[in-house]
Amino acid sequence: MNFSQTLPLNIALIIMLLPLIAVGFYYIKLRNSEELWKFALEGAGDGVWDWDISNDKAYFSDRYKEMLGFNNEEVDNNIKEWNNRVHPDDAASLDQAVSDYLSGKTEKYIHEHRVICKDRSIKWVLSRGMIVKRDKHGKPLRMIGTHTDITARKLLETRLENLAHFDALANVPNRTLFNDRLKLALSYAKREKKMLAVMFIDLDLFKEINDLYGHETGDIVLKKVSRQLVSCVRESDTVARMGGDEFVILLPIIDEIEDVKLVASKIVEAVAQPIKVAKTHLHITCSIGIAVYPQHGKDEKLLVINADMAMYQAKNSGKNQAKFFEEAMLN
């Protein structure tokens, strides 16, 4: 068979192979573009992940593993292993965010959550991703995305939140945070038909200490008193500073009035203990006014006003004691 006879056969063979060659070039190009894409993201400091949804396998870039303190040999491509590193308190919301995106309920997948590093420390990450492959029925087959370390940002947000809601001197919640917690506690008490108590506390003779020893000593006294108050209540209770030498305490759940009396007695006794500042032992006491929901008020404002009124009654009756609000005080 001469060349002229084999030419049509060769041309036909080339024509048949062209689609396969084109597909090969396409996949090479696709792979190269993915490598470039991943390289670019890595260069930006993000960890890259590539999830094969149908087989539940995932590729994790070196930077991704580095963020959590691992090297390449210490982990495999089992996505469950990595999901187990999500902080337990964030796991449910992460699963929901992924599920909502895959099912089409949300247009984007963006989620902030905590992850547990190799050394058991905690980092915050911003996870973002998108579906890049679906089957002919539209079912997601592959998803790619990044993790960005946002720990520094979260720490800054926490500090700013503390500045907005905590008293810088006493290191306890301020008026704003107290009001928020009282509002929530009152909603719960109304719904569950429970009691709660508000205590308004004023330090006796604090002005005299400030005038005699100076504001620096006065600040030390306030810090120590705030610690004493916190030590007298449960973790679920709130001690807040209203300003000056005034504090408030929220007992969000109480079963008996007697429980409130016990806490008040404990506070009066604790505050009356001598406070050592340098070489001086200072003596201070407190007057406490108490208002209980629902007996002494059914909204936040009235409870605080009535507790404040009861506090003045305690102060006018000799100080260093606690008084419950009574209707007679209105006169």
**In this structure, are 177 and 307 located in the same domain?**
yes
What are the catalytic residues? 245
Burial category of 31 from C-beta neighbours within 10 Å (exposed 0-12, middle 13-18, buried 19 and up): exposed
**In this structure, are 83 and 223 located in the same domain?**
no
Residue at a domain's end among 108, 133, 155: 155
**In this structure, are 121 and 240 located in the same domain?**
no
**3-class state of residue 87 by DSSP:** coil
Domain membership flag for residue 108:
yes
List, for residues 99-142, the tens digit of each pLDDT value.
Answer: 999 999 999 999 999 999 989 999 999 999 999 999 999 999 99
* Predicted local distance difference test score (pLDDT) of residue 12: 52
Q: Where are the beta strands (DSSP E) in 28-139?
A: 47-52, 57-60, 109-116, 122-134
**In this structure, are 294 and 171 located in the same domain?**
yes
* Alpha carbon distances (Å) from 191 to 68, 79, 250, 256: 44, 43, 18, 18
Domain membership flag for residue 63:
yes
d(CA 41, CA 39): 6
Domain membership flag for residue 323:
yes
Q: Are 1 and 9 in contact (CB under 8 A)?
A: no
In terms of phi and psi (left: phi > 0; alpha: psi -120 to 50; beta: otherwise), the region of 205 is left
Domain membership flag for residue 161:
no
Q: Which domain holds residue 218?
A: 166-330
Domain membership flag for residue 297:
yes
**In this structure, are 96 and 174 located in the same domain?**
no
Q: Is the pLDDT higher at 181 or at 43? A: 181
* CATH number for position 140: 3.30.450.20
Task: Please confirm whether the linkage preceding 294 is cis (ω < 30° from 0).
Answer: yes
Quick one: which H or E segment has residue 289? Answer: strand 285-293
List, for residues 86-104, the tens digit of each pLDDT value.
Answer: 999 999 999 999 999 999 9
Domain membership flag for residue 7:
yes
d(CA 213, CA 219): 11
- Provide the token pair at 242: 């209203």
Residue at a domain's end among 125, 155, 185: 155
- Provide the token pair at 214: 């100076």
**In this structure, are 109 and 207 located in the same domain?**
no
* CATH number for position 222: 3.30.70.270
* Predicted local distance difference test score (pLDDT) of residue 33: 47
**3-class state of residue 102 by DSSP:** helix
Predicted TM-score (pTM) of this structure: 0.61
Domain count along the chain: 2
**In this structure, are 99 and 224 located in the same domain?**
no
